[in-house]
Amino acid sequence: MSGQDTFFSSTFSLNLRGELLELSTPRVMGILNLTPDSFFDGGQFNSAAKAIEQCKKMLDEGADIIDIGAASSRPGSEVLSAHDEWNRMSGILSQLVKEFPNAYFSIDTFHSTVAEKAIDNGAHIINDISGGEMDPKMYSIAAQLKCPLIVMHMQGTPQNMQDNPKYSHVVIEIIQNLQAKVFRAHEAGVLDLIIDPGFGFGKTVEHNFQILNQLDHFHLLKCPILAGLSRKSMIYKSLNSSSDEALNGTTALNMIAMEKGARLLRVHDVKEAKECVSLFTQLKAHEHRTD
């Protein structure tokens, strides 16, 4: 990771198989769910043809990274075995890598065996919603493969995380949890680490807004921050609507997340997120001008 003056206090870059992806301007990660039961788009892209079509659409709209998930992590979802997850993902991943050789792919999994196979088959980044808690081998695998690792905070597991989430001081506790993960990652030899506070993963609506309001506090960990706000219940519950109607709210909160220093936006709607980044970049370019 490099450090120099930009819009933020420092900038970061990710080493993706020898190519550097700079994060001085926020980047957009497009979500590609191969699952039948994800909360917003379950079942829409669970065939190779549909996945390729959606991947092309997101890349054409400017996605910097495509995040592939083969196991749902919606509240109450059952854990998919590593074997079943890889069977669902492997054929589609190989076709995507072949079809889009210049694209960057991240793999949304907490199984280290799935992560290892995916990186060996052309993926670039591991995105672990448990931050190594559900499979402690994830740190050593990421270090061994020399790939970036995204570690997220989650209270509990997808099956029970929304049963009754409680914190004494939500932001402090999440920072402490992620600090321990950062330490473990560095101790294992992980070179590029991204942190994700885990909006909606074991948090109430109020918790989520507290985290967003204090997202700049997470700079204490000296890692790039990923914000995954896209169409989540903190938006549509607050607006008495639904995930289908949560795009405008997603855009509003993405702008706030970037203002507080988020470098990666994980989204379902790439075009709108890229427009948000473009306007944010224009805003920051004129921040100190007096003419």
Q: Which residues contact 35 (CB under 8 A, 6 or more apart)?
A: 42, 43, 46, 69, 70, 71, 72, 88
Rounded Cα–Cα distance for residues 256 and 259 (Å) = 5
Active-site residue identified among 203, 231, 263, 266:
266
Active-site residue identified among 27, 231, 232, 263:
232
Contact 218, 260 (CB under 8 A): no
Residue 284's nearest CA partner among 3, 5, 7, 4 is 7
Task: Look up 266 and say whether it is catalytic.
Answer: yes
Task: Look up 232 and say whether it is catalytic.
Answer: yes
Query: ∠ CA 84-87-92 to the nearest 5 degrees?
Result: 140
Residue 65's nearest CA partner among 106, 96, 25 is 106
Catalytic residue numbers read 232, 266
